[in-house]
Amino acid sequence: MSDSESRAGLGYGQLAFILTLIAIIVYGFRPVHRWRLRKIPGRRPKWFTGTLLELRKRGAARTHQIWAREYGPIYKSFGGSRPFVFVESPELVRQVLLTNTYRPVFPSIWLGKEREFDKANILAVRGEKHRSLRGAWTPMFFSGSLEAFSALMNEATDLLLLSVAAAAKSEKYFDIYQAIGRMTLQVVGTTAFGVDFHTQEHDPAAKDCHEDSERLQEAVAQIFSVNAFSFSAWAVVSLLFPVLAPLVRVLALLLPDRGLLRMKAARGTIVNSVAHLIRVHRRTLEKEAGILNGEKAVQTTTRQLREGTMEVRRGVQPGSFIDLLMRAKDKTTGKGFTDMEIANQGFVLVLAGYETTGNALGFALYLLAAHPEQQARLVEEVRRFGMDRRPSYESLEELPFVEACLKEALRLYPPAPTHIRQAARDQEIAGYRIQKDQWIGCAVYAMHRDPKYWQAPEEFIPDRFMEGTPEAAAVNPDAWVPFGGGVRACVGEKFAMAEAKITLVRLFQQYTFELKPGQEPLELRNTITLSPKNGVIVKPSLHKSARMEE
Ligand code: HEM
């Protein structure tokens, strides 16, 4: 190669470098998207980070509150260079949730089997496949199943009560939020798989619990200990530069960092445990003479679950969620669901069902402990219900005030503080033109506390959800959406409410709770979900009548 040729080569290389640099700099401003959304009010995005830094400083929930006050019911924001349109009024939230049935998928950083696994996720699948999967989930929430599950929820509460009793005896403050988290994980394990994870400290089996369930517990804890994006540097890069996602996937596979390896191991543990349970149960089902179908199968298996002995739960139990799924048909193929698809549903159920319900209960207990007058009303209702009656699913209808307290807690502290959808087609929202595929968010926390839609929005007033009260008459039902709406609304709402009500009834049948001073206002942790940052520290006291019996 001559000198002049190599100089020209270097020149091209430099040019390519400079052009790439300019492209990255320009990309960081997302000029096309900024132009498209120019008429919608909102913060001016910073290069690449967009409006993320402000969001990080105050947490998403409170930042959206500030933006909604400043810009009104529709505004834009930039998650890194990803543009979002947010809505914050009952009418617009309803419109967005009902007309857009796609949930956006964050750029995956997985490849191979890991990526395939994520594709079967009910949260991500679309169209026919979603309808089919959702149809398969639904029998879990028939009243027959919930009646059977309520027995398991009561059992899990028995162990929670032992933790509370220990704290009451020592007259010490303790973190009830943590104890409740262990209980909701047990409920998910027994209802989803019929397997006892032995998560609660007063469970006699917990100390020498099966190695597998200990690992499973650690894996779930690992997945929840991290923010969806901060667990690995690769996930952050993928979020900031969605266009580089395919390259990031390869680099993450070749050069995984510690966070990624840990996450992979945790996911693997859950998936392998679930897959093992499925394999064993498939053999049992194959042996079962004349497999039952449909509603009859549900009734039969849930009865078995209710009546079955509960001491040993080593395999998938008849009537559990996984058992129901293994008997269901995939309407898109006419065949049963694959083991990977079933394993994924179990994985989603653990993730979707455990933390959210624990958070809702944690917030409700915080609010009740902080408002002794409302707590006294709740105890009075529980007294009328019966102080030593185990609540069945059907009997929960007799507890409107317990339900009202939970709903009011979900208003003030929605565990899912924003719902995100992807525009299914071009559409007009509040007079603005929104293009297909645009990510649209509903600022739920902000709307739940907006004085335009709620009187005295920062106050805990359960009467808003008590039929016939003036407070209830003032409520716009579309302004309360902790479980989302439309065909993608939370499929587990009835399950979560049943579990939360049973827990509150059982706790308040024996105790009242005093909040440790210094926790108001409650500090929040805001990742994908909203949770109490430092737990909920309370001191339980036995009711007088229960003390006399002791
Ligand atoms: C208080 C507890 C819970 C809250 C606040 C909650 C909230 C939510 C929200 C906001 C969504 C998205 C809705 C939308 O996009 O419109 C959702 C979806 C979902 N939730 Fe829940 N959830 C809770 C408990 C549960 C439980 C216990 C289960 C399972 C037993 C569950 C399973 C699911 C599933 C599978 C989806 C996806 C539904 C679909 O895409 O078709 N959730 N949840």
CATH number of the domain residue 153 falls in: 1.10.630.10
The ligand 1 atom nearest the CA atom of 137: 35
Confidence class of residue 128 from pLDDT cuts 50, 70 and 90? very high
CA distance 187 to 196: 8
* 381 falls within a domain: yes
What average pLDDT score do residues 17-41 get?
85
Q: What are phi and psi of 428, to 5 degrees?
A: -110, 130
Q: Which residue has the higher pLDDT, 249 or 4?
A: 249
Q: What is the mean pLDDT of residues 51-78?
A: 93
> Which alpha helices (DSSP H) does 29-85 contain, by range?
31-36, 52-58, 60-71
- Give residue 183's domain range: 120-416+482-549
pLDDT, tens digit (0-9, with 9 covering 90-100), for 363-377: 999 999 999 999 999
Which protein residue's CA is at the shortest distance from atom 21 of ligand 1? Answer: 490
User: Which atom from ligand 1 is nearest to the alpha carbon of 349?
Assistant: 29
The token duo for 455 is 């009187």
Best residue among 188, 408, 440, 483 to mutate for probing ligand 1's pocket (most ligand atoms within 8 Å of CB) is 483
In a domain, 475, yes or no: no
Closest residue by Cα to atom 20, ligand 1, is 490
Please state, rounded to an integer, the average pLDDT across all residues of the chain: 86
Residue nearest to atom 22 of ligand 1 (CA): 490
CB 535 within 8 A of CB 177: yes
DSSP character string of 216-265: HHHHHHHHHTS-TTTT-HHHHHHHH-GGGHHHHHHHHHHS--HHHHHHHH
Q: What mean pLDDT do residues 192-218 have?
A: 65
Q: What is the pLDDT of residue 298?
A: 45
104 CB near ligand 1 (under 6 Å): no
Q: Is pLDDT of 219 > 70?
A: yes
Q: What pTM does this model have?
A: 0.88
One-letter-per-residue 3-state SS of 389-422: CCCCCHHHHHCHHHHHHHHHHHHHCCCCCEEEEE
Q: Helices 339-370 and 258-287 sit at what angle, rounded to 10 degrees? A: 110
CA of 134 to the centre of ligand 1 (A): 12
Locate the ligand 1 atom nearest the alpha carbon of residue 141 and give its number: 30
Least confident range from 183-187, 285-289, 335-339, 365-369: namely 285-289
Cα 550 to Cα 548: distance, rounded to the nearest angstrom: 5
146 in a structural domain: yes
Ligand 1 center–CA 446 separation, angstroms: 19
* Contact indicator for 176, 362 with CB cutoff of 8 Å: yes
Strands 511-515 and 537-542: antiparallel
Distance CA 200, CA 162 (A): 10
CA of 87 from ligand 1 middle (Å) equals 20
Q: What 8-state DSSP symbol labels residue 289?
A: S
Q: Does ligand 1 come within 6 angstroms of the Cβ of 303?
A: no
Per the DSSP assignment, residues forming a β-bridge with 434 are 427
φ, ψ dihedrals at 74, nearest 5°: -145, 130
Confidence category of residue 211, pLDDT binned at 50, 70, 90: low
- Say whether pLDDT at 305 is over 50: no
- pLDDT band of 308, cuts 50, 70, 90: very low
pLDDT at 65 over 50: yes
**Number of compact structural domains in the chain:** 1
Residue to substitute in 128, 490, 493, 499 for testing ligand 1 pocket (most ligand atoms within 8 angstroms of CB): 490
Summarize pLDDT for 236-286 with one digit per residue, the tens.
Answer: 788 777 778 888 889 988 999 888 888 888 888 777 777 777 887 887 777
Verify whether ligand 1 is closer than 6 Å to residue 419 (CB atom): yes
The finding on whether 416 has its CB within 6 A of some atom of ligand 1 is: yes
Q: Which has more pLDDT, 29 or 66?
A: 66
Q: Ligand 1 within 6 A of 448 CB?
A: no
Helix (H, G, I), strand (E, B) or coil at 539: strand
Instruction: Please give the distance, rounded to the nearest whole angstrom, from the Cα atom of residue 496 to the centre of ligand 1.
Output: 9
Angle at 49 between CA 43 and CA 53, to 5 degrees: 70
Residue set of the binding site for heme = 490
pLDDT at 220 over 90: no
Query: pLDDT digit string (tens) for 459-471?
Result: 999 999 999 999 9
Please spell the DSSP secondary structure of 515-544, one letter per residue: EPTT--SPPEEESSSEEETT--EEEEEE-H
* Predicted pLDDT of residue 270: 75
Alpha carbons 467 and 471: distance in angstroms, whole number: 9
pLDDT at 14 over 90: no
| Cβ–ligand 1 contact at 496 (below 6 Å) | yes
Instruction: Give 115's pLDDT tier (boundaries 50, 70, 90).
Output: confident
Q: Which of 123-127, 337-341, 487-491 has the lowest mean pLDDT?
A: 337-341
Closest ligand 1 atom, CA of 421? 15
What is d(CA 168, CA 150) in angstroms, rounded to the nearest whole number? Answer: 26
Torsion angle in degrees (nearest 10) through CA of 239, 244, 249, 255: -90
Is 362 a residue whose pLDDT tops 60?
yes
- Confirm whether 212 is domain-assigned: yes
pLDDT at res. 133: 94
Q: d(Cα 436, Cα 19) in Å, to the nearest integer? A: 30
Q: Is residue 462 in a domain?
A: no
Q: pLDDT-based confidence at 191, cuts 50/70/90?
A: confident
* Domain assignment of residue 98, yes or no: no
Is 156 a member of any domain? yes
Residue for token digits 């737990």?
535
Question: What share of the chain has pLDDT > 90, as a percent?
Answer: 52
Percentage of the chain lying above the pLDDT 70 cut: 85
Q: Which amino acid is at 517?
A: P
**What's the CA-to-centroid distance between 482 and ligand 1, angstroms?**
9
Q: Three-state DSSP class for 311?
A: coil
Atom of ligand 1 nearest to the CA of 496: 27
- Inside any domain, residue 305: yes
pLDDT at 485: 97
